[in-house]
Amino acid sequence: MKKFDPHNRYIELPVRESTTLMEFMLKQMSGTSRNRVKDLLRGHAVTVDRKLTTQYDAKLEPGQVVQIRRHKQNVELTNRYVKLIYEDKDLVVIEKEAGILSQGVSPKQYCVKTVLDEYFRRRQFKCTAHVVHRLDRETSGLMIYAKSVEIQQILEEDWHQIVYDRRYVALVCGRMEQEGGTIRSWLHEGRDFTTLSSPVDDGGKEAVTYYHTLQATDDFSLVEFRLETGRKNQIRVHMKDLGHPVAGDTKYGNGRNPLGRLALHAYKLNFYHPRTGEPMTFETPIPRQFLERVKSANPDVNEDVNENES
């Protein structure tokens, strides 16, 4: 059996028996701690059959080859608009900031896809980012990008079965009259590309939004949304229908823009992995700006609203 030589740039090790990547690395790298192994994995220093692997519990089978670099690679994704939350060989989950498109109109237009493509290129991986779903330019939050057409198609074709919990939070104008409820309408696109809403079926696409008021003041309310359908501008149009447009929404709003951005954030994304079926759960904190706005209007705001920031 080869010993791990810390002076080598990397070492290739054949897998002789079924095991997990963590146990394999601990056995091959005698004296190395679990934290060091996880650090190498997070630092993109490990490949299995020449494919980057970051999951310590990845299954290994006889005949596979593990390559371990002595140092983690300096290929971290550092971008003001895109934060990498999770990555495996099939997909990435990112958090998008407001101000960047999910996908550009032209191939060279700056967007999340071009940021990810450059990240993959620096890692010398022969893959590109494939858009599965979109967020508006001024909406922030969690998104999935596939690394192959195969995974993209699986996600797109079975989206509503694969994604089992997807939620948004928004700062909306005025005090919500109800703690929660359901908004149902039929949406279609007008000639000016604005989404129009009808309370009855007029040939448009049915849209269903569930909402729950987290905190309400006279000026603004913090509201959580869960979508049964995923129509274009659905939350924004439905909140206009209720008379409480999303703050900062110049298209469907009333001009109130206290944060200098659309106050809508996709904060929760739970789905079954398209290849393994494993439940994947992701949640980001409610944006501090949203919380501070309702707290500034009401200093006695319930601190439980802020529990996601811990």
Q: What is the CATH number of the domain that holds 222?
A: 3.30.2350.10
Whether residue 115 is found in the same domain as residue 210:
no
Whether residue 199 is found in the same domain as residue 259:
yes
pLDDT at 305: 52
194 assigned to some structural domain? yes
What is residue 248's DSSP assignment?
Answer: T
Whether residue 183 is found in the same domain as residue 259:
yes
4 assigned to some structural domain? no
150 assigned to some structural domain? yes
259 assigned to some structural domain? yes
CATH number at residue 45: 3.10.290.10
Whether residue 98 is found in the same domain as residue 114:
yes
Whether residue 262 is found in the same domain as residue 168:
yes
pLDDT at 46: 85
Give me the catalytic one of 5, 39, 90, 136. Answer: 136
pLDDT at 4: 46
pLDDT at 70: 65
> What sections of 43-148 are H helices per DSSP?
112-122
Taking every pair of Cα atoms in the chain, the longest distance, rounded to a whole number of angstroms, is: 71
Residues 6+ apart with CB under 8 A from 249: 236, 239, 240, 262, 264
Whether residue 21 is found in the same domain as residue 64:
yes
Whether residue 265 is found in the same domain as residue 242:
yes
Contact between 58 and 64 under an 8 Å Cβ cutoff? The reply is no
- Spatial separation of the C-alpha atoms in residues 204 and 210, rounded to whole Å: 19
Q: Total domain count for the chain?
A: 3
Q: Per residue of the chain (310 residues), what is the pLDDT tens digit? A: 444 444 456 688 899 999 999 999 998 887 888 888 888 887 778 888 877 788 888 899 999 999 887 655 555 788 999 999 998 889 999 999 999 999 988 878 899 999 999 998 887 778 999 999 999 999 999 999 999 999 999 999 999 999 999 999 999 999 999 999 999 999 998 888 889 999 999 889 999 999 999 999 999 999 999 998 888 899 999 999 999 999 999 999 888 999 999 999 999 999 999 999 999 999 999 999 999 998 755 555 444 554 443 2
Q: Is 136 a catalytic residue?
A: yes
Picking from 133, 157, 181, the residue at the C-terminal end of a domain is 157
Whether residue 80 is found in the same domain as residue 150:
yes
282 assigned to some structural domain? no
pLDDT at 310: 29
Give the pairing of strands 279-283 and 264-272: antiparallel
305 assigned to some structural domain? no
- Spatial separation of the C-alpha atoms in residues 245 and 240, rounded to whole Å: 5
Give the pairing of strands 130-131 and 91-96: unpaired
231 assigned to some structural domain? yes
Whether residue 252 is found in the same domain as residue 206:
yes
pTM of the model: 0.73
Picking from 48, 69, 90, the residue at the C-terminal end of a domain is 69
Contact between 271 and 144 under an 8 Å Cβ cutoff? The reply is yes
303 assigned to some structural domain? no
Picking from 41, 69, 97, the residue at the C-terminal end of a domain is 69
Residue-number span of the structural domain to which 132 is assigned: 75-157
pLDDT at 75: 59
Whether residue 103 is found in the same domain as residue 167:
no
Whether residue 153 is found in the same domain as residue 175:
no
pLDDT at 124: 74
